[in-house]
Chain A
Amino acid sequence: MTTKLFGEPVRRREDARLIVGKGRYLDDIGAHALAAAFVRSPHAHARITGIDVEGALDVEGLVAIYTYEDLTGPMAEPLPVLIPHPQLHAPRTGYPLANGEVNHVGEPVVMVVATDRYLAEDAAERIVVGYEELPVIVGVDAAREARDAVHAEIPDNVAARHHQETGDVEAALAGSARTLSFTQYIERSACMPLEGKGVHARWDPADSSLRVYSSTQASTSVRAAIAAKLELSLEDVEVIAPDVGGGFGVKIMHPWPEELLVPMAAIRLGHEVKWAEDRREHFIGSAHERQQRQEITVGFDDDGRITALDVHAWHDNGAYTPYGIIIPIVTATQLVGPYAIPVYRVVVESVYTNTVIVTPYRGAGRPQGCYAMERTMDRIADVLGLDRAEVRRRNLIRADQFPYDHHLTFQDGRPVIYDSGDYPGLLSKLTDLVGWDAMEARRAEAASRGKLLGAGMAMYVEGTGPGPYEGGHVQVLGSGKVLVATGLTSQGQGHETSFAQIVASELGVPIEDVEVTTGDTRRFPYAVGTFASRAAVMSGNAIALAARGVREKALRIAAEVLEADPADLEIEDGVVGVRGTPGATIPLRTVAVLSNPLRYAFDEAAKQATQFARAGSDDKPPVAVGDAPGLEHRDYYSPIRSTFASGAHAAVVEIDPATWEIDVVSYAVVHDCGNVVNPMIVEGQVHGGVAQGVAGALYERMAYDADGQLQNASFMDFLMPYASEIPDVVIDHQQTPSPLNPLGIKGAGEAGVIPGTAAIASAIEDATGRRIAAMPISPTELYDVMRSVDHERTAASGRRADVTA
């Protein structure tokens, strides 16, 4: 492999259009489309008693109104349970438009189509829906108490009870020298991409075909869902993800009601229809994540080595479970992190609440798992009076223990077997990077300025690149251009660049000649989607394999022309040559022309491949048996299991003891995602992830009141940080290549966000000496903690007081 471009910080190719305003996002498409708007439930739980559209009918520009009554066939059935699981014993999904009952504020009840969005909103505003309100469940604790039920037939509100264990935890705890039990909470947040969702559909009645653009992370699956729900043949539906303005998980969920309703309307009306979600709709009509209550019991010895871990968590899945129990499984299995846990039992109960559905948000259950495990480490250190880094070190899986089998089953149904890593290496790099051992001096310095300083750390292991598969197609054209396609989508991760780097390296062509298309079912119909940090691992490897196939074929054809052994050939800068024999070359583009025997010459290059131009053997067919015309190859990568990336973060906070404002003053990251295709892009992913981690720890939460009204459904009150709130981040790298895939890479997309909440909670606890067991935390809440006389104090704060006294 020519490794020239692989591993280089190549500047992004997608930027050329994005920096001049030539990106093509969903709402940039279809200038003449009709616009859809929705009447959404204002109640968290209610029966619909009637829908009166009369008032809307005279709105100028109104084209159509749809209610549940207008849905037919599969559209009138509940939305799919995308990921069924045997432990999801009581799955529930909504309908594209509410069927008699609403279960969260924001649930779509009526769709209005008008000539523009202003008019569609005018009409929607005039539609009167009658509701009979029902009791409302908000939050895991209320769901657990189950005084009322979200779904009448599920009186305990439990959708699933996910359970895994690796031994007899009761016995192990009983035999442990020490045990600790505690409860902690983590709140709801959301992906909040800057571009909302959106769908544009165009029906061609002449050939009965449907083209749909969706701001999605899973165009192939959206296509399948639309075909199934609208009873169309798959080949009559094409779905394209245009430029997508961020996803972070919310756009992997599908089919959204709007993804079905907009195409339905386009077909019925015979006109393009578009829906571009506005910000308020995104808050109440998309998805959130993260709320859990965690009850943890840990057994350990006097040295701080864990002997047993027992976790019982309650996970708020919102009103419905279309995405199954992926998040509970991820929490359950990723919780163990980089540590050797001799006996582990975990139960995650996924419970219904009358709130927006919960589907993966970058990290997808890992931040919660990391929070559980890392705060456990902090507690053990606190009880034993040990350094928090030291307790972690004692529990880490050693570098010589790989592959390491946790005896758990991951979200892809495969065993959790760590492929490679060096966790002690991460930890020592981290303590160096953040200056862990010099923290007391920093604390004293801050104290002299009247500030409370504290440091915290958190480590994680992240299963990335789960299957089942992704594919890649690479084709060299007679012009020398190399077309690359994969079905997986892009939301800003720079796939056009990384994948081009891989192909340029594998094939030996200039990157300028490579053109990458992602997420377009016309170009590549088989794919799974962009989630779980899988793009580089899955599509990257599939594309590498496809490129290798092309290379092999190119060498075979070139070898004939050059009368050489393919093993002696190399490709450099788009030219095939015989190694060590200058002059014996043939451009790859000529090989591409020759690969496709022609009858008709449509241009100069093609002439070379026509039947009278080519010398060939009369005994062989122009296309050999088993061969195909064209210099192209399609290949798939399907891993036996996920590959496990890892990292360690440390945060240093300064707290103003008068106002209780919390300032993250240092943030250090050590990161291992195996071989790196483009370090610039990976660093960008880390920066973005850390920002979301800090946001989730200190700023963002979905604040529901007891009636299920989202109190902060705007950017005014949902505090997505500006630059002013995000600390500078220092990064160090470690590379333990994955033995599982040809490129040795591991995923990098989600890592940055995972340890933020745990590390910052730890730092605040360190600074204040008060137990921090509910995150995120704001200054007003920290004030409540500090002034409460009976709020738990850490043992470390007692020891520190003794020292200073």
Chain B
Amino acid sequence: MKPAPFRYADPGSLDEALDVLAAEGDGAKVLAGGQSLIPLLSMRLAAPATLVDINRVPGLDGVEATGDGVRVGALVRHAALLHDDAAARVQPLLARATANVAHPAIRNRGTTVGSIAHADPSGEMTSVLALTDGSVTVATPAGRSTVGWRDLFVGPLETSVHGPAVVVDAFFPALAPRSGTAFAEVARRKGDYAVCGAGVVVTLDADRRVEAVRASYISVGLVPEVVDLTEAVHGRPVDAADWAAAGELARTLVDPDGDLHASADYRRLLVGVLTERTLGTAAAEALERTAA
């Protein structure tokens, strides 16, 4: 299990990184935290001709939390995001989900943006980007563009980012007023990729009735999706909402696959259970934020 030979560059600026990527052509790949890419290289499941290591590019390691949302730079490690209190206040899902990503030593090196660029439907942060209706900023030699999550995720381990391009940050919009979130997952071993995970956002109206309910699931489907569960509980007073009904609805809206660790039916079951459980928690938070 040793990587095949490759060429290596560690540019000191974003422009240089884009230059090298352009010069090296199709065989070039960005190396960020390496926590997904290096295992693939060692197993020789991937053999890019050139790795462009962005770890020395300055200015990509910031977490910027504003009223609008949280902008996470490409070199922000999962661990840094997990412990960023300002980010957690603006968008609580970030820390809640990140806590479920792997184990600490992986989180110390792996990047949140890298996990989005990797587009693994079993990754937590792809779903969170979707659920928060987030986007990424993509830098290419032609300039920067913002790509919304719907346009980003094309298939499992596949994004619309091609050619010489670096995802420089991901933007997670702030949690809306009168809203609460929760995140939960079932994994075979603690720290594993989830067998199934659920992130939810509950939004109340001023009368503390359920206004909107959205959920996004992990390891369910080929690309992250957002499921609107509002109809199951719309207009119900928050303390009388039938979260189980929302769970039931969720089960009918997803189309999971089976694999070694879970049958499709079991995943569907978990979608229902996790939805019900997280909605209760998220609603409580929404209520708090509505009262306050």
Whether B7 is near chain A, meaning CB under 8 Å from some CB there, is no
Give B177 Cβ to nearest chain A Cβ, in Å.
Answer: 32
* Contact, CB under 8 Å: B2 / A721: no
* Range class of the B interface residue count: 20 to 34
Give B275 Cβ to nearest chain A Cβ, in Å.
Answer: 11
Interface segment, one of A231-239, A567-575, A778-786: A778-786
Whether A133 is near chain B, meaning CB under 8 Å from some CB there, is no
Complex CA gap A117/B44 in Å reads 14
* Contact, CB under 8 Å: B273 / A780: no
Interface segment, one of A46-54, A605-613, A711-719: A711-719
* Contact, CB under 8 Å: A724 / B266: no
* Contact, CB under 8 Å: B263 / A722: no
Whether B56 is near chain A, meaning CB under 8 Å from some CB there, is no
Give B38 Cβ to nearest chain A Cβ, in Å.
Answer: 13
Give A201 Cβ to nearest chain B Cβ, in Å.
Answer: 21
Whether B190 is near chain A, meaning CB under 8 Å from some CB there, is yes
- CB-defined contacts of B5 to chain A, threshold 8 Å: 118, 122
Give B220 Cβ to nearest chain A Cβ, in Å.
Answer: 14
Partner of A725, one of B1, B3, B190, B270: B190
Contact with A along B161-193 (1 / 0, CB 8 A): 000000000000000000000000010111111
- Known interface pairs A125-B44, A783-B269. Does A279 touch B1 (Cβ–Cβ under 8 Å)? yes
- Known interface pairs A699-B189, A722-B190, A779-B186. Does A659 touch B261 (Cβ–Cβ under 8 Å)? no
Whether A121 is near chain B, meaning CB under 8 Å from some CB there, is yes
Whether B262 is near chain A, meaning CB under 8 Å from some CB there, is yes
Contact with B along A265-286 (1 / 0, CB 8 A): 0000000000000111000000
- CB-defined contacts of B4 to chain A, threshold 8 Å: 121-122, 125
- CB-defined contacts of A278 to chain B, threshold 8 Å: 1
- Known interface pairs A278-B1, A280-B43, A659-B273. Does A783 touch B191 (Cβ–Cβ under 8 Å)? no
- Known interface pairs A125-B44, A717-B260, A721-B189. Does A779 touch B2 (Cβ–Cβ under 8 Å)? no
28 contacts across the A-B interface (CB closer than 8 A): A118-B3, A118-B5, A125-B44, A278-B1, A279-B1, A280-B43, A659-B186, A659-B269, A659-B273, A660-B266, A711-B260, A712-B260, A716-B192, A717-B260, A719-B189, A721-B189, A722-B189, A722-B191, A778-B261, A779-B195, A779-B262, A779-B266, A780-B195, A780-B266, A783-B266, A783-B269, A784-B265, A784-B266
* Contact, CB under 8 Å: B188 / A699: yes
Complex CA gap A711/B259 in Å reads 10
- CB-defined contacts of A659 to chain B, threshold 8 Å: 186, 269-270, 273
- CB-defined contacts of A699 to chain B, threshold 8 Å: 188-189
Whether A661 is near chain B, meaning CB under 8 Å from some CB there, is yes
Contact with A along B241-265 (1 / 0, CB 8 A): 0000000000000000000111101
Whether A658 is near chain B, meaning CB under 8 Å from some CB there, is yes
* Besides A660-B266, A717-B261, A725-B189, 9 other A-B contacts (C-beta < 8 A): A117-B2, A118-B5, A278-B1, A280-B1, A703-B260, A712-B260, A716-B193, A719-B189, A779-B266
Complex CA gap A548/B193 in Å reads 57
Complex CA gap A125/B189 in Å reads 33
What 10 pairs between A and B have smallest CB-CB spacing?
A724-B190, A780-B266, A278-B1, A118-B2, A658-B273, A780-B262, A783-B266, A121-B2, A780-B263, A719-B188
Give B196 Cβ to nearest chain A Cβ, in Å.
Answer: 9
- CB-defined contacts of A778 to chain B, threshold 8 Å: 188, 261
- CB-defined contacts of A724 to chain B, threshold 8 Å: 189-191
Give B162 Cβ to nearest chain A Cβ, in Å.
Answer: 27
* Contact, CB under 8 Å: A780 / B191: no
* Contact, CB under 8 Å: A784 / B44: no
Complex CA gap A537/B197 in Å reads 50
- Chain A: CB-nearest residue to B272: A658
- CB-defined contacts of A722 to chain B, threshold 8 Å: 189-191
* Contact, CB under 8 Å: B263 / A784: yes
- CB-defined contacts of B188 to chain A, threshold 8 Å: 699, 719, 778
Give B87 Cβ to nearest chain A Cβ, in Å.
Answer: 26
Complex CA gap A773/B138 in Å reads 54
- Chain A: CB-nearest residue to B264: A780
Complex CA gap A118/B5 in Å reads 8
Contact with B along A285-319 (1 / 0, CB 8 A): 00000000000000000000000000000000000
Give A52 Cβ to nearest chain B Cβ, in Å.
Answer: 19
- Chain A: CB-nearest residue to B266: A780
Interface residues of A in 678-737 (CB under 8 A from B): 699, 703, 711-712, 714, 716-717, 719, 721-722, 724-725
Complex CA gap A225/B271 in Å reads 56
Q: Which residues of B contact A (CB under 8 A)?
A: 1-5, 43-44, 186, 188-193, 195, 260-263, 265-266, 269-270, 273
Contact with B along A101-133 (1 / 0, CB 8 A): 000000000000000011001100100000000
Complex CA gap A659/B184 in Å reads 12
Complex CA gap A573/B195 in Å reads 60
- CB-defined contacts of B44 to chain A, threshold 8 Å: 121, 125
- CB-defined contacts of B270 to chain A, threshold 8 Å: 659
Give B34 Cβ to nearest chain A Cβ, in Å.
Answer: 16
- Chain A: CB-nearest residue to B258: A780
- CB-defined contacts of A703 to chain B, threshold 8 Å: 260
Interface residues of A in 26-40 (CB under 8 A from B): none
Complex CA gap A714/B261 in Å reads 14
- CB-defined contacts of B190 to chain A, threshold 8 Å: 722, 724-725
- CB-defined contacts of A721 to chain B, threshold 8 Å: 189
Complex CA gap A658/B275 in Å reads 12
Q: Select the residue from B192, B260, B273 with max chain A CB neighbours within 10 A.
A: B260
Give A425 Cβ to nearest chain B Cβ, in Å.
Answer: 37
Complex CA gap A716/B260 in Å reads 12
- CB-defined contacts of A780 to chain B, threshold 8 Å: 195, 261-263, 266
Complex CA gap A717/B193 in Å reads 10
Give B68 Cβ to nearest chain A Cβ, in Å.
Answer: 36
Complex CA gap A121/B190 in Å reads 33
Complex CA gap A279/B260 in Å reads 19
Give B187 Cβ to nearest chain A Cβ, in Å.
Answer: 10
Complex CA gap A719/B263 in Å reads 17
- Chain A: CB-nearest residue to B196: A659
- Chain B: CB-nearest residue to A712: B260
Complex CA gap A121/B5 in Å reads 10
- Chain A: CB-nearest residue to B44: A125
Complex CA gap A293/B261 in Å reads 22
- CB-defined contacts of B192 to chain A, threshold 8 Å: 716, 719
Interface residues of A in 653-683 (CB under 8 A from B): 658-661
- Chain A: CB-nearest residue to B186: A659
Complex CA gap A784/B262 in Å reads 11
Complex CA gap A499/B23 in Å reads 65
Give B6 Cβ to nearest chain A Cβ, in Å.
Answer: 11
Give A126 Cβ to nearest chain B Cβ, in Å.
Answer: 10
- Chain B: CB-nearest residue to A718: B260
Interface residues of A in 734-753 (CB under 8 A from B): none
- Chain A: CB-nearest residue to B274: A659
Give B272 Cβ to nearest chain A Cβ, in Å.
Answer: 9
- CB-defined contacts of B43 to chain A, threshold 8 Å: 280, 714
- CB-defined contacts of B2 to chain A, threshold 8 Å: 117-118, 121
Give B210 Cβ to nearest chain A Cβ, in Å.
Answer: 22
- CB-defined contacts of B269 to chain A, threshold 8 Å: 659, 783
Complex CA gap A661/B273 in Å reads 12
Contact with B along A753-787 (1 / 0, CB 8 A): 00000000000000000000000001110011000
Give B39 Cβ to nearest chain A Cβ, in Å.
Answer: 8
- Chain A: CB-nearest residue to B43: A280
Complex CA gap A659/B269 in Å reads 7
- CB-defined contacts of B189 to chain A, threshold 8 Å: 699, 719, 721-722, 724-725
Give B124 Cβ to nearest chain A Cβ, in Å.
Answer: 16
Give A283 Cβ to nearest chain B Cβ, in Å.
Answer: 11
Give A320 Cβ to nearest chain B Cβ, in Å.
Answer: 25
- Chain B: CB-nearest residue to A279: B1
Give B93 Cβ to nearest chain A Cβ, in Å.
Answer: 21
- Chain B: CB-nearest residue to A120: B2
Complex CA gap A117/B4 in Å reads 11
- Chain B: CB-nearest residue to A656: B273
Complex CA gap A117/B2 in Å reads 8
